[in-house]
Amino acid sequence: MKTLLVLLTVAVAFAAKRFDGEQVLRIVPEQETHLKELSRLERAEERLDFWKGPTRLTRPVDVRVPKDILKDIKTMLDKMGMQYTVMVQDVQQSINAERSRVRAAGFGFDQYNSYNDILAQLQTFATSYPSLASVVDIGTSYEGRPMKAIKIGSARERSNKPAIFLEGQIHAREWIVSATLFYNIKFLLEGYGNVDRITKVMDSVDFYFLPITNPDGYVYTRTENRMWRKTRSGPIDDCYGVDPNRNWDDHFGAPGASPNPCSDTYHGPEAFSEPETKALSNWILNNTGSVNIKSYLAVHSFSQMWMSPYGWTEDLPEDFSDLDSLGKMVVDAIKEVHGLTFEHGSIARVIYITSGDSADWAYSKAGIKYSYAIELRDTGRHGFLLPPEEIRPSGEEFFAGLLVVAELLAGPAGFST
């Protein structure tokens, strides 16, 4: 009876839209006509969910296709001579596998947790490590949920230490992001005083983790629609939400964002229209005197990339040599952990043109030199639906990269010998 009650509780928690029979197709455009048709579909066919949109020839396009139009889409691709492979055979089965380790209640590092359990775990960290961790209020979401971050660092040796701010899960469906960041918090706290390299870094650098920047969207992915990406403001033209990573006041509304309120990349009616982006940007700017942020890491999934500004143009910033040099060091460290290859370079050149994004804002408006947009594992085999057994490996490889960034900011005092 107890087991049945647990299963029923989990089932109720995930009483959401189903995706039975839907597939994710990978299409490689080899001709300009292919690229134009895929771009047209992305703009015009709202039933298609482009996980990786069309950008350039030979670059894979990943699209989730509903069951009722799957046959028609495959027929169209065949007629146009576009080669495709099935990356996700059944989206609902992948969702079921993703939730296979969920417990009825309580936080677990190797599962995807509810927002309430995430907030509770932040407080547990602060209570368990009072000299190393403290919860930070960033703001409040559109639906009134608290946006909580956690500061990690020791009080030894340096005042006004350089800091790294990690912005997590601004896109609601990228569940692996917050799970990865929680493992990184755990590694830092458990390593301090026990692992020399971690101790040196924490004595020299502070870390601010905001595991979930878009709490309303995240809750919606757990209760209503696993594939939801945006915030939950609105409606505008009967459509809800804004892409919070197109809503920042840096080249707002330029190419790389959509003016269509029904689009997944809708930039919003104005820059910082969303309480979440407004609160976070205000916190960054209002705390420049007390928090010495030298690196801003906007963490996303998926594609395995570590990218520096700019997103709005393929032109490179004056600091690109330094940014890309660090990026190469990071991806080399990541590869040593589980053998995965991450690309590095500028956002626009590595992935696509994007405007109004947080990494560009942090670099250009907040003056944070080492600002990056990061795409975690994988490259499309599971996409946004990574099974729970990949959470810890993702945390381990990201932690290797994070330490490289921290050691650069720390200078000689923070490097392991």
Active site residues: 375
Q: Which of 207, 224, 120 minimizes the C-alpha distance to 163?
A: 207
Interhelix angle for 175-191 vs 391-410, to 10°?
60
The span from the CA of 281 to the CA of 310, in Å, is: 18
Distances in whole angstroms, Cα of residue 144 to Cα of each of 242, 244, 268: 16, 16, 19
Q: Which of 153, 149, 163 minimizes the C-alpha distance to 121?
A: 149
How would DSSP label each residue in 344-374?
EEEHHHHT----S-HHHHHHHTS--SEEEEE
User: 134: part of which helix (H) or strand (E)?
Assistant: strand 133-140
Strands 162-168, 370-376: pairing is unpaired
Q: Which of 360, 369, 378 minimizes the C-alpha distance to 408?
A: 369
What is the dihedral sign for C-alpha 385, 391, 395, 396?
A: negative
The span from the CA of 381 to the CA of 101, in Å, is: 20
The span from the CA of 136 to the CA of 291, in Å, is: 12
The token duo for 219 is: 């809750």
Classified as helix, coil or strand, 236 is strand
Q: Which of 359, 352, 244 minimizes the C-alpha distance to 303?
A: 352
